[in-house]
Amino acid sequence: MITGLSGSGKITALKVFEDMGFYCVDNLPAELIPSFARLVQQTSETQNAAIVVDIREGSRLEQLPAIIRELRKKLAVTLIYLDTTDKVLVRRFSETRRPHPLGASNSVPKSISSERRRLEQIRNIADIEIDTSKFNVHELRTHLVELFKPGGEERQPLLISTLSFGFKNGVPESADLVFDVRFLPNPHFIPEFRPHTGRHPKVAKYIRSFPQTQEFITKLMDMLLFLLPHYVAEGKSYLTIAFGCTGGQHRSVFMAEEVKKLLMRAGYRVKVEHRESPK
């Protein structure tokens, strides 16, 4: 069951499930959900189904938490809540030129605020919450396929992004955890290393050679491996760990790459991004 804010990507998500062979229904009236669930149980052709239920339900949306509780007594039900920052939602509505479902008399920001309040009870019972402001369409598709593709092995529900950045350009808004690695010796001041990034073997070897680097990595990994299972238990599906140095070219890049490798060895799904050093 997919719900969440208007403009957060629910229809995109539904198309992903359809491509995976799920029987999909958009905007099914709340009072018909139990009947639909019985059909799923009774037919041998439909083993996996996905539906979108959202603010378009109007006042019937208040019935949804009780309906879900009853369904869970009979079926395996996963409730996915798609969220997005207000800033991203306003931009999306501006780009698509589509009205907000609650926007007959209110501005888009006021409509978003009202929608958040009305969805709060449903959000509180969600099994998985995904912030789609951190995804493009292709990344959202990949994430959902990793989580829900039928017939596959059990998948790690948390997708981690290790991100490097330069403080001179500001802290990235998407960061959940931020670590300042400007305390490490700076390769920028060594002419041989200046043209390269932290991915270059000689630059990485230089940064790794200092005892404070090794000690920081050890303590950081101890903390992350303690925290991550708790994030998973709370239903967090996406985590951005950001590393910042002055220019975002050497120390932060090295750390993002290093932590990615170590987390992957620990069994987590990890991607790396370099904001200031894309190549």
Give dist(CA 267, CA 263) in Å, integer: 7
Q: What is the pLDDT of the chain when averaged over all its residues? A: 89
Of residues 242, 268, 259, 251, the one with CA closest to residue 203: 251
Is 279 contained in some domain? no
The verdict on 26 and 91 lying in the same domain is yes
Of residues 279, 275, 216, 209, the one with CA closest to residue 248: 275
Give dist(CA 195, CA 152) in Å, integer: 44
Tens-digit pLDDT profile for residues 40-94: 888 776 678 999 999 988 888 888 999 999 999 888 899 999 999 988 888 888 8
For the chain, the domain total comes to 2
Instruction: Report, as an integer, the average pLDDT of 240-252.
Output: 96
DSSP H stretches of helix in the chain: 10-19, 33-42, 64-71, 86-96, 108-124, 137-148, 201-208, 211-233, 251-265
Q: Which of the residue ranges 29-43, 112-126, 151-165, 264-278 would you say has the lowest mean pLDDT?
A: 151-165
The verdict on 132 and 14 lying in the same domain is yes
With contact defined as beta carbons under 8 Å apart, do 270 and 263 qualify? yes
Backbone φ and ψ of 74, nearest 5°: -120, -25
The verdict on 171 and 134 lying in the same domain is no
pLDDT value, residue 155: 55
Read off the pTM.
0.65
Give dist(CA 129, CA 9) in Å, integer: 13
Q: Which of the residue ranges 2-6, 17-21, 105-109, 245-249 would you say has the lowest mean pLDDT?
A: 105-109
Backbone φ and ψ of 152, nearest 5°: -90, 175
The verdict on 191 and 247 lying in the same domain is yes
* Residues sharing a CB contact under 8 Å with residue 181, sequence separation 6 or more, in sequence order: 216, 243, 244, 245, 251, 252, 255
Res 27 pLDDT > 80: yes
Single-letter code of the amino acid located at 106: N
Give dist(CA 170, CA 237) in Å, integer: 25
The verdict on 207 and 117 lying in the same domain is no
Of residues 32, 98, 93, the one with CA closest to residue 60: 32
Of residues 88, 239, 251, 220, the one with CA closest to residue 176: 239
| Placement of tokens 């992957």 in the chain | 264
pLDDT value, residue 157: 66
Is 190 contained in some domain? yes
The verdict on 80 and 218 lying in the same domain is no
